[in-house]
Structure 1
Amino acid sequence: MINGVLWILGCQLVGEVIVGSLGLSVPGPVVGMVLLFATLCVRRPGPGSGTLRVADGLLGHLQLLFVPVSVGIMVHAGAIRQQWLPATGGLVLSWAAGLVTVAVVASLLLRDRASGGRA
């Protein structure tokens, strides 16, 4: 289990270092999450691996991870009140982009499944 925590935190650290050294405008944890995804795709851990057990434990307490976001919204409520139109526009556009992305990926996967996995 410690091994799983170290993989997750190590990927986050590498993501932070990459973003800091290259000056990217992407958050370090996002780069770390992409690195962790690539690592998991290559390593293909079994169902009982430490990384997957740690991830399941984090998902079991996911609601606690929203507490800092909620506090941030309350702290910056005045700025949000003044900038409600751009904030709402950004939320709607990001929701629509996510929805379109999921629809495209799902249709590609269904098409691949219908063809029997042949490209």
Structure 2
Amino acid sequence: MLSSIAIVLGYQVVGELISRLTGIPVPGPVIGMVLMLLSFLVKDNLIGIVRPTAGVLLANLSLLFVPAGVGIMRHGQRFLDEGVGIMVTLVLSTIIAMLVTAYVIIAVEKWMKIKDED
């Protein structure tokens, strides 16, 4: 389990280094996830090494949200002052993301000439 955690954290560190050194506006952990995915495609047995630990992490994912909850409680006054703006932004960005996703799916279906029957 420690070796697979080291692999996951290694990809996160490499992603963070790439993000900071190049100035790419993408979080390091996201870059690390993409690199790990590419590694899974190249090296078949890597996914078997990481899978047990990933399962444990996913089963206990709710614990990873505790720091976010503490941050929300710490900035409670800000949420009271700017809560309406935050909620409007969250709702609008969710609607926009859903619409963009729907239009991308429609465009890809047309591009690949996929019909409803398929």
Aligning the two structures, in what range does the TM-score lie when normalised by the shorter sequence? 0.7 to 0.9
SS at match of 2:13: helix
Distance between the aligned counterparts of 1:102 and 1:37, measured in 2?
25
Q: Does 1:80 align with 2:79?
A: yes
Partner of 2:57: 58
Could you list the structure 1 runs, at least 4 aligned residues long, displaced by more than 4 angstroms after superposition. 102-105
Q: Mean alpha-carbon deviation: is it higher for 16-25 or for 92-101?
A: 92-101
Q: Which has the higher contact order (CA 8 A, sep 6+)?
A: 1
Q: 1:53 to 1:93 in 2, by over 3 A?
A: farther
What letter is aligned with 2:26?
V
Distance between the aligned counterparts of 2:11 and 2:104, measured in 1?
28
Q: Mean alpha-carbon deviation: is it higher for 51-60 or for 27-36?
A: 27-36
Q: 1:82 to 1:24 in 2, by over 3 A?
A: farther
Any conservation in 1 of the 2:19–2:26 contact (CA below 8 Å)? yes
Q: Aligned Cα RMSD in Å? A: 3.0
Q: Does 1:42 align with 2:42?
A: yes
Listed as ranges, the matches of 1:79-98 within 5 Å are 79-98=78-97
Displacement of 1:52 in angstroms is: 0.9
Any conservation in 1 of the 2:40–2:46 contact (CA below 8 Å)? no
What letter is aligned with 1:73?
I
Identity of aligned residues (%): 35
CA deviations over 1:2-48 (Å, ceiling 9, x no partner): 3322221111001110111012332211221222222223334477x
5+ residue gaps, structure 1: none
Q: 1:44 to 1:97 in 2, by over 3 A?
A: farther
What letter is aligned with 1:62?
L
What letter is aligned with 2:58?
L
Partner of 1:21: 21
